[in-house]
Structure 1
Amino acid sequence: MTLLARIRLVTFVLMLLGIASVPVCAQKLGPDGAPNPDASVTSQRTLLEQAPRIQGRIDIPDVKASVLMQPAGRAWDYFHEVLLHWGGALVIVGTIALLGLAYLIIGRIRIAAGRSGRKVLRFRAFERFSHWLTAVSFVVLGLTGLNITFGKIVLLPLVGPEIFSEISEIAKYMHNFTSFAFVAGLVLITVIFFRDNLLAQVDVEWVKQGGGFIKSKHAPAGRFNLGEKMVYWFSVAAGVAVSASGFVLLFPFYGTNIADMQLAQAAHAIIAIFFIALILAHIYIGTLGMEGAFEAMGTGEVDLNWAREHHDRWLAEQLEREDRRPSATPAE
């Protein structure tokens, strides 16, 4: 019995040693004769060449969590953290620099004949409301959106991480909810000013006369000149595009995947940057660039001489309409 027990013990020990030695024998040896644990493992490069992303098996219902690695995410991160920073700064700062240069060279466009003292109604109250609803909401969206892109670079070093975190959280909610006001204003100005911004024969003449920038020539125009019409149509197109991509980001993964969300974010950011540059030029012309222009959206009325110099065809129609209007019967 003692001999049999010893044989069983030796056999058991040999079996344990054999099991332990199997993984070691299965490993390939490296150049120095040592085992290479990665020799039998597929390289990361090979995996990435086989599929656009690596997926695993998970127990939770969220299928997005099964994406273990997505090479396209590196391209998106490079765009968001490098290209967008440099490109956005170049566009916005470059626009401000060009507008400043224009102010230094051209200066403020004055009313050549001086103010007449007579006012002409240019925009009604509801038209001004629609414009300011869109304008104010755009400013809020622009500032809060720029914080997402440049906040960590510009604002964070100034206020510190705690205050920056609070500012960014508030900015996020402001950006999300103000978007609905912007869309409402965009629909209103699209409908209200659509007919007046259609191309007309007078726009060709406006271009031939230098668009009002050549002092020796008079550029005729209707209610809106060709430059204002271009701002209108670019604003409508950019507004629709930035709103559509914004709502995709606001309601993520409703019929979209990770790649679609990255594309929507990139489109939203690029369009918004150029949209901001366009509106900066619009604000400049309506304030510093031209005397009497801001009054149109401020009070709704403009000086008669201003209207004659910049929108003579429209002014003629307004005066003719006033002449045809029956005068009030005097009280007896």
Structure 2
Amino acid sequence: MIGLGRIRLLIVATLLLCGTVAVPAFAQKVGPDGAPNPTASVTPQRDLLMLAPRIEGRIDIPDRKASVLIQPAGRTWDYFHEVLLHWGAAVVILGTIVLLAAAYLIMGRLRISAGRSGRTVTRFRAFERFSHWLTAVSFVVLGLTGLNITFGKIVLLPVVGPEAFSEISQAAKYAHNFTSFSFVVGLVLIIGIFFRDNLPAKVDIEWLKQGGGFIKSKHAPAGRFNPGEKAVYWLSLAAGLAVSISGFLLLFPFYETTVAEMQLAHVTHAVVAVLFIALILGHIYIGTLGMEGAFEAMGTGEVDSNWAKEHHDVWLAEQLEKGKAGYSAPAE
């Protein structure tokens, strides 16, 4: 049997051991002045900041996103919005303008090889032109007001001052939001009207083989739309749907979306919009400065017959066969 002295010694040793463990813990809960420290047992801030993907508190209201105290992903989004988007958008848009200017200086305007015949053929009907211009005007408004959101503080604010910039930006915000509806309407109309004519066809292969009309010694046959125009159509369709969906998520924030999903919607909207602007700049160039007679197609709906024969001969032959060419001579 163990002696009474040994039992006492064991008890004392146990108490001393517990004391050495408890005293530091107690010391943490008491401040230097002897007053209790209510934050002593809280997890250190450095450990909290290392948690991923976010730090949440406890709330009693149903809105769970209100409990988010710190979201590390927000710093990544802020860096994208304030740095990457500025540089990326500037490089893409200005780079596109420089390339188009170089193309014009080097190649000049693509003229009608046989010259104007004086006879015109109907290319686009009134409702088709209305759908195009509804979408085009809406896109220009959305593009300019969207660029103000990205570059306004850098470019416009130093020029007009804080008060004028505030008024311009507020008006631009409302214009951007409400014009989005007309853009979607125009996009839907264009999808329905021109979908069939932009499907791939056998003649597209021959158009590509002949260099798409950029090799003067070769003739590139094409239907109503050539592969280049079809590419613009499908890319515009994809980009239009992407900016519309992401834009409406931003227009109605947190409607079935989280903070992270809203950030993703903004990144998607901004990146696609910048690429979309670059694409449309090329489209505008071809339809105005780049090619003689192209603007008339959407301007008046009538194109010169020599232009139609040179750029869309298969389509012109089909129209003549069906009796829908609608040839007309210019008014005296």
Tell me which interval the TM-score lies in, with the shorter structure as reference length: 0.7 to 0.9
1 CA distance for matches of 2:324 and 2:196?
24
- In the alignment of these two chains, the number of paired residues is 299
Query: What secondary structure does 2:69 align onto?
Result: strand
Structure 1's unaligned 5+ residue stretches are 1-21, 31-35, 326-332
What letter matches 1:250 in structure 2? L
What letter matches 2:56 in structure 1? Q
* 1:108 equivalent in structure 2: 109
1 CA distance for matches of 2:214 and 2:105?
15
Give the C-alpha shift of residue 57 in structure 1. Answer: 2.9
Give the C-alpha shift of residue 50 in structure 1. Answer: 3.1
Q: What is the TM-score with the length of structure 2 in the denominator?
A: 0.85
Give the C-alpha shift of residue 174 in structure 1. Answer: 0.5
* 2:281 equivalent in structure 1: 280
Query: What secondary structure does 2:276 align onto?
Result: helix
8 Å Cα contact 1:133/1:182 also seen in 2: yes
* 1:210 equivalent in structure 2: 211
Cα displacement string for residues 116-170 of structure 1 (whole angstroms, at most 9, x for unaligned residues): 0000000000000000000000000000011111111111111111111111111
Change (3 A) 1:127 1:102: same
* 1:315 equivalent in structure 2: 316
Give the C-alpha shift of residue 25 in structure 1. Answer: 4.6
What letter matches 2:109 in structure 1? R
What letter matches 2:255 in structure 1? Y
8 Å Cα contact 2:109/2:289 also seen in 1: yes
* 1:254 equivalent in structure 2: 255
* 1:83 equivalent in structure 2: 84
What letter matches 1:178 in structure 2? T
Question: Which of 20, 25, 28 is 1:26 aligned to?
Answer: 28
* 2:296 equivalent in structure 1: 295
Q: What is the TM-score with the length of structure 1 in the denominator?
A: 0.85
What letter matches 2:257 in structure 1? T
* 1:46 equivalent in structure 2: 47
2 CA distance for matches of 1:247 and 1:323?
41
Change (3 A) 1:313 1:324: closer
Bigger shift: 48-57 or 298-307? 48-57
2 CA distance for matches of 1:240 and 1:257?
21
Matching of residues 149-188 of structure 1 within 5 Å? 149-188=150-189
**Alignment RMSD (CA, Å):** 2.4
Give the C-alpha shift of residue 67 in structure 1. Answer: 1.1
Cα displacement string for residues 19-71 of structure 1 (whole angstroms, at most 9, x for unaligned residues): xxx999537999xxxxx999866333311333321122345554322211110
Give the C-alpha shift of residue 303 in structure 1. Answer: 0.2
2 CA distance for matches of 1:208 and 1:289?
22
What letter matches 1:145 in structure 2? G
8 Å Cα contact 1:121/1:301 also seen in 2: yes
8 Å Cα contact 2:52/2:72 also seen in 1: no
2 CA distance for matches of 1:91 and 1:225?
26
1 CA distance for matches of 2:215 and 2:253?
50
8 Å Cα contact 2:207/2:222 also seen in 1: yes
Change (3 A) 1:51 1:125: same
Give the C-alpha shift of residue 319 in structure 1. Answer: 1.6
8 Å Cα contact 1:28/1:40 also seen in 2: no
